C-alpha cells in the first residue's frame, strides 16, 4: 500500500546506493608511460613524505615514498615497475609489520610495495603471486576505502615528486631508477 502511494520514489535510496557503489569501486583506464627506468605510482593519492630509511624488508638503505589514498578515490593499486614478484626476506621474521611485495626488475633493481588497511580497516587485496611477472602499470590489487601505500625504492633512485603532490596510479611517474 505504501509502495503504491509513493510510486517509483520508494526506489530512490536503492538507486543512489547503486550509484555510490559503482563510483567507489571504479577502475579507470590509464595511459602507462613507456619509460623503462621509470617508477609509476602504485596508487591514486597524495605524496605524504619522501625520506631515506633503512628498508625493513630487504635490509638495505632505501628511499621511502608514502602515498595517502583518498577514502573516495580509486582503490586499485598497480605495479610501479615491470618485473618479477618475490617474497621479501624479512616477511616471516616474527616482527609485526604489513606484508610487502618485493618486485625485481630485469635490470636487478629491487622495490618493495606495502599496502596498509583502509578507513574501515579492511584488508588490502593483492592479485599477484610470488614468482609471477608483472607489467609496469598492471592492476595488482586494491585497498578498499583508501589507505596508505609505501614504496621502498633503491637508495640511488631519483624521486620526481614532492610531498603534497597529487598522483594517479599507473600513469604518473614518481621516480627514476639510476644505473651507472
Residue pointed to by grid coordinates 613524505:
49
CATH of domain 31-176: 2.70.70.10
Task: Provide the edge-to-edge strand list for the sheet that holds 125-126.
Answer: 76-78, 139-142, 125-126
Residue pointed to by grid coordinates 606495502:
114
The DSSP-derived string for 82-120 is SEEEE--TTTTSS-----EEEEE-TT--EEEEEE---TT
pLDDT at residue 95 is higher than 90: no
pTM: 0.82
Q: Which of 47-56, 82-91, 167-176 has the lowest mean pLDDT?
A: 82-91
pLDDT at residue 90 is higher than 90: no
pLDDT digits (tens, 9 = 90+) for 118-147: 666 677 777 888 889 998 888 888 787 778
Nearest to 39 by CA among 117, 121, 119, 136: 136
Q: What are phi and psi of 4, to 5 degrees?
A: -70, -35
In angstroms, the CA 161 to CA 179 distance is: 19
Q: Where are the domains of the chain?
A: 31-176
pLDDT at residue 93 is higher than 60: no
Amino acid at each position: 500500500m505504501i509502495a503504491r502511494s509513493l510510486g517509483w520514489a520508494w526506489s530512490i535510496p536503492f538507486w543512489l546506493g547503486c550509484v555510490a557503489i559503482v563510483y567507489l569501486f571504479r577502475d579507470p583506464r590509464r595511459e602507462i608511460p613507456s619509460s623503462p627506468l621509470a617508477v609509476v605510482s602504485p596508487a591514486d593519492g597524495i605524496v605524504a613524505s619522501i625520506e631515506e630509511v633503512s628498508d625493513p624488508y630487504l635490509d638495505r638503505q632505501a628511499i621511502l615514498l608514502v602515498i595517502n589514498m583518498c577514502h573516495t578515490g580509486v582503490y586499485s593499486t598497480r605495479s610501479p615497475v615491470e618485473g618479477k614478484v618475490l617474497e621479501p626476506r624479512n616477511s616471516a621474521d616474527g616482527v609485526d609489520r604489513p606484508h610487502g611485495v618485493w618486485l625485481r626488475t630485469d635490470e636487478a633493481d629491487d622495490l618493495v610495495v606495502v599496502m596498509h588497511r583502509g578507513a574501515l580497516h579492511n584488508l588490502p587485496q593483492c592479485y599477484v603471486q610470488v614468482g609471477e611477472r608483472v607489467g609496469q602499470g598492471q592492476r595488482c590489487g586494491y585497498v578498499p576505502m583508501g589507505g596508505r601505500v609505501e614504496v621502498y625504492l633503491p637508495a640511488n633512485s631519483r624521486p620526481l615528486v614532492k610531498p603534497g603532490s597529487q598522483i594517479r596510479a599507473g600513469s604518473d611517474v614518481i621516480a627514476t631508477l639510476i644505473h651507472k
